[in-house]
Structure 1
């Protein structure tokens, strides 16, 4: 009995680590547009790909569903979320309310280290664009906004922004917004400059214009919902 007790914590840690790893890989695949809106996420196929039980896959899918990244349908299974036009508008309305609050808090808690982290991130965006690495551009563009919320130091805002940025990413793919126009790194740089000057009003103004540009780039389009899960997750 004592030996069993000693083995339990590592086993639990291994399970949690595995769930976190699978969650992150699916999350990044969606963020990088390798998994498309409407793609079916078959439990059995994913369990085979990741070498885990279907129960563990269900745990991952439930977590993604809680964050509205995945939709679960009785008798049909799990699918990558496919936001409607109305939902897309709701996403941008929420971002217009939340992101100015993020910037105000970030300006209030301004430090040189925070500004440096933002500048380093934008340099990664510049580099990805120079290399024409579209997947990295998509991922880094979304992560810029979640980084703003993280540095602002409010967990609730940070979690909300992570979910909203993922839903925005799905919307951009679904409605065929050009990556180069949808989230421009020059506007990211302008936001950082305003934060560095502690000019909250200007930072908010640029952010709202930035969100207008993203939403304005959307075009109605239909995805086919098909994807080869094995080719996505097996290198």
Structure 2
């Protein structure tokens, strides 16, 4: 993301912006200036514009005529819809994974939770946020659905926006214990238990939202993406 001689592709720009949103480095309402982003990514404004259009399709960016792009600011109603969608999508993925999970899959899940615990012990906020969302994306990956993987990836990123806007400032993300409970059910092939554990987990995250919360201050793009 620094000023290198290489030219970033549209997908690279999209993915780096997506990650910055998912890790809560880009706050809701942050203005995304094409010219500045083109310089940061050593790319053209046309490519930046294409990347922003892809992110708008995923409802992570809002493009306003004559003003440019902004990181989306989900409403309370949208926040509820996102959690509703996640319950449906992740429930189906868990049912499939409980049937198909291999020993290697379980090792991957346990390794991921170990990384979550390590990040929590070290107080590494960026890793905590990344790994917390990454657990859910890993379930989609292991369940073998490329389409639902992409759907959930965007839902997880939008959840980060929602948590940034409406979540308590002292809480960075859910801990790994609830994730471990889900994995224990997968290991037992207990689809009903895994679903209950995931529903409880998502409800716990949603219940922490402060519905009177507002937008947090934004920061300089170079500081966020450099």
Common fold: TM-score over 0.5 = yes
The alpha carbon displacement at 1:225 in A equals 5.2
**Structure 1 moving runs of 4+ over 6 Å:** none
Aligned residues: 220
Matches within 5 A, 1:18-33: 18-33=9-24
> Against the structure 1 CA distance between its residues 233 and 22, is the aligned structure 2 distance closer, same or farther, given a 3 Å change threshold?
same
What is the CA–CA distance in structure 2 between the aligned matches of 1:122 and 1:76, rounded to whole Å?
A: 42
Q: For structure 1, which segment, 171-180 or 47-56, has the greater mean C-alpha deviation from structure 2 after superposition? A: 171-180
Q: 1:110 aligns with which of 91, 97, 101?
A: 101
Aligned position for 2:225: 233
- Richer in helix (by share): 1
Give the TM-score normalised by the residue count of structure 2: 0.92
C-alpha contact 1:38 1:223 (8 A) present in aligned 2: yes
Query: Which structure has the bigger radius of gyration?
Result: 1
1:185-233 CA-to-partner distances (Å, cap 9, x unmatched) read: 1000010011011111100000000011000000132225532001112
Aligned position for 2:3: none
> Against the structure 1 CA distance between its residues 224 and 21, is the aligned structure 2 distance closer, same or farther, given a 3 Å change threshold?
same
Matches within 5 A, 1:123-134: 123-134=114-125
1:223 matched to 2:215: yes
Matches within 5 A, 1:1-235: 18-177=9-168, 180=171, 182-219=173-210, 220-224=212-216, 226-234=218-226
SS at match of 1:71: strand
